[in-house]
Amino acid sequence: MKKEKTAQLVFAALGGVGEIGMNMALYGFGPANDRRWLIVDCGVTFAGPHLPGIDLIMPDTRFIEAHADRIAGLVLTHAHEDHYGALLDLWPALDCPVFATRFAKAMVDAKARGNGFSSSVPIKVVKPGERFVAGPFELELVPMAHSIPQSCGVLISTEAGHALHTGDWKIDADPVGGWATDETRLRRIGKHCRPLALIADSTNATRDGASPSESEVAANLTKLIKDAPHRVAVTIFASNVGRMISIARAAQAAGRQVVASGRAVHRISEIAREQGMLDGIDEFFDQDAFSSLPRNKVLLLCTGSQGEARAAMARIARKTHPVIELSPGDQVIFSSRAIPGNEREINDIHNALVDSGVKVITDRDELVHVSGHPRRHEMRQLYDWTRPDVLVPVHGEAVHLKAHCDLGAELKIAEILPARNGDLVSLFPSQGVARAEIPAGRSYLDGYILCDPADSGVSERRKLSLGGHVTVSLCVNAKGRMEGGLKISVIGLPRIEDDEDFDPHATIRTAVAGVIKGLNRRTRGDAERLAEAIRRAVRGELYAIWGNKPMVTIFVHEARTGT
């Protein structure tokens, strides 16, 4: 086929570039006014306490939704929440073919069942090395080692050139429960797929050396569990099946039974067992068996590595778990890392456990966790294998992206294209970056509702959390005189008994009476103007005494009869 000279291969991120999480990438091919689009990943990020009531944050997909009839397909690199967690919510508006590995499909289907969706997303299972076509894109999944089974890079081939989207990866010569990064295939890509753009993970670009192997963690966990005199509890990222296997093997070697607690651990272990990943591993006991097993013959595998308030480990630490209780001398291993933003919640759990006499072991104390992302030595190896012409650093915050660009310059990559969410990056036949070319914001999932941040009500919730809320209802007759008493509701203000200096109800009554007395009849007869005057007065009087300004809502009702 004759190459269309105006056809371009372009890249844009709706999430995941300039941040860690919410990964969603677009690849476009064709003339600028007639492009087909490929989506890689569809992830979420988690809301913190600064977004009260918000469950998850998802990419703003209005740009690609406007081109829904031009979407050739969507490919999942792996089944971590920050790469696939938004698929069930966003796919109906995209309505395109979806491609994934067998494990990733099982994770999507299980999530749909667990979260009450009436149906899952139709997914075509593809195998690594198996080439498949989506519109003008020829695609291939490339095995990459990571902290979840069946993680892949995506080789995207077009008439203009090739792009290797690495996804999350590392080089691990001895992985547990997953495949190794396919060096042979990557070398072939570097030899035969020219020109080549590398769109690559930057998470650990600031760290020298190489990430330790999962097998090294397995060996150390085996020793720790064997040497523990009493109960051992281990909390993990539930999706880390390799870690789950290492812990289960260590328990068996120490003569312990594995008790599983937490919905995610049960769900993912069931998927792994169905797919043969837990062959040779004894069935896990449910949490009800915990108290009946001898203290030195039990290993608890549970959720809550990030301090989640409703997860098993938080409830155990607070002594509110219905069936599991730890005793002084027991041991808890946090076989995980703290995701930025979760440190306070995790520390609270650590402190609660220590106060109970439980020994806490984290990755600061022992080798109980390794990253699933490459450090600089591994990144150099990837560049040596693939010899890219173009580099676009992704999957990282500003400091990670900058370090990745510097590494690319050190390795003399011909074209380094720094980008952020919303930039349109031209890969081939020419290179360049058009800043903020497409909309790339955020959507909030609030319960069952997916909404724009401006419409989420979060700003009002923040105000409520800071100053509480006051409601005043009064009735005014035709002459502007108040009839009956005031109805006052006060929520979230301090309550100090027998304190004449701060009695919110008395302060509010005084403020309302002052407004009624001070306004002329005409103004008192205008319900809207009267309500605003009372609102300002109430807020001002409370601030003068308390030092904070609550939200104030005033209802002025017109009396049906009056003198």
Q: Which ranges constitute the DSSP H helices of 339-474?
A: 343-355, 376-386, 398-410, 458-467
Answer whether 311's CB lies under 8 Å from 345's CB. Answer: no
Is residue 366 a part of any domain in this protein? no
Contact 216, 315 (CB under 8 A): no
Based on the fold, state whether residues 134 and 204 are members of the same structural domain.
Answer: yes
Q: Classify 416 as helix, strand or coil.
A: strand
Together in a domain, 221 and 159 = no
Reported as a pLDDT band with limits 50, 70 and 90, residue 125 is: very high
Q: Which residues pair with 554 in a beta bridge?
A: 472
Q: Which two tokens stand for residue 469?
A: 């809320």
Element (H, E) at 163: strand 162-165
**Residues 543 and 413 reside in one and the same domain:** no
Q: Which element (helix H / strand E) includes 493?
A: none
Mean pLDDT across 174-184: 95
* Proportion of the chain above pLDDT 90, given as a percent: 82
Look up tokens 């205008």; give the residue.
Answer: 526
Residue 95 has pLDDT above 70, yes or no: yes
Mean pLDDT of 387-396: 98
What is the structure's pLDDT at 502?
78
Which sign, positive or negative, has the C-alpha torsion 6, 9, 14, 20? negative
The reported pLDDT for the residue numbered 470 is: 95
Q: Let me know if residue 563 belongs to a domain.
A: no
Shared domain check, 236 and 137: no
Q: What is the percent of the chain with per-residue pLDDT over 70, rounded to a whole number?
A: 98
CATH of residue 87's domain is 3.60.15.10
Same domain, 150 and 264: no
Mean of pLDDT values over 168-179: 95
Q: What is residue 2's predicted lDDT score, i.e. its pLDDT?
A: 43
According to the model, what pLDDT value does residue 498 have? 63
67 found inside a domain: yes
- 451-456 CB contacts, 8 Å cutoff, 24+ apart: 452/60, 456/54
What is the arithmetic mean of pLDDT over 535-540?
95
CA nearest to 269, candidates 234, 291, 250, 243: 243
String of DSSP letters for 63-100: HHHHTGGGEEEEE-S---HHHHTTHHHHHHHH---EEE
Q: What is the pTM of this model?
A: 0.90
Pair type for strands 482-491 and 8-15: unpaired
Checking if the pLDDT of 563 tops 80, the result is: no
| pLDDT at residue 529 greater than cutoff 60 | yes
**DSSP H or E stretch at residue 28:** strand 24-30
The amino acid present at 84, given as its one-letter code, is: Y
485 with 352, same domain: the answer is: no
Any domain includes 3 = no
Boundary of a domain, candidates 296, 326, 361: 361
Same domain? For 121 and 164 the reply is yes
Domain span at residue 392 reads 8-209+371-450
Average pLDDT over residues 387-400: 98
Looking at residue 3, what is its pLDDT? 44
Are the C-beta atoms of 23 and 83 separated by less than 8 Å? yes
Between 53 and 390, the higher pLDDT residue: 390
User: Cα(233)–Cα(331) distance, rounded to whole angstroms?
Assistant: 6
Query: What is the number of alpha carbons within 13 Å of residue 429 lying toward its C-beta?
Result: 9
Decide: helix, strand or coil at residue 15: strand
Helix 527-546 to helix 504-518 angle (10° resolution) is: 140
Write the DSSP symbol of residue 290: G
Q: Which of 4-8, 280-284, 431-435, 481-485 comes out lowest in average pLDDT? A: 4-8
Tokens 């017109």 correspond to what residue? Answer: 558
Same domain assignment for residues 71 and 123: yes
* Structure token pair of residue 282: 């004894």
Rounded CA gap, 480 and 313, in Å?
Answer: 60
Token pair of 363 as six digits? 């990755």
Tens digits of residue pLDDT in 273-282: 999 999 999 9
| Structural domain contains residue 47 | yes
Does residue 496 share a domain with residue 432?
no
**Mean pLDDT throughout 241-266?**
97
Is 186's pLDDT higher than 90?
Answer: yes
Confidence label for 331 from pLDDT (cuts 50, 70 and 90): very high
449: which strand partners? Answer: 446
- Which has the closest alpha carbon to 59: 79, 84, 29, 76? 84
Domain of residue 478, CATH code: 3.10.20.580
Residue 441 lies in a domain: yes
> How remote is the C-alpha of 127 from its chain's centroid?
27
Residues 189-196 have a mean pLDDT of 98
pLDDT digits (tens, 9 = 90+) for 62-86: 999 999 999 999 999 999 999 999 9
Return the CATH number at 298.
3.40.50.10710
Please indicate, yes or no, if residue 2 is contained in any of the structural domains: no
How many structural domains comprise the chain? 3
Statement to judge: residues 111 and 231 lie in one domain: no
Residue 93 lies in a domain: yes
Among 395, 421, 450, residue at a domain's last position: 450
180 with 39, same domain: the answer is yes
The total of other beta-carbon atoms located within 10 Å of residue 149's CB is 27
Considering the domain architecture, whether residues 526 and 540 belong to the same structural domain is answered as yes
| Domain end position, chosen among 296, 328, 361 | 361
Give 244-267 as a 3 state SS string: HHHHHHHHHHCCCEEEEECHHHHH
Query: In terms of Cα–Cα distance, which of 319, 359, 346, 339 is closest to 232?
Result: 359
> Quick one: pLDDT at residue 497?
67
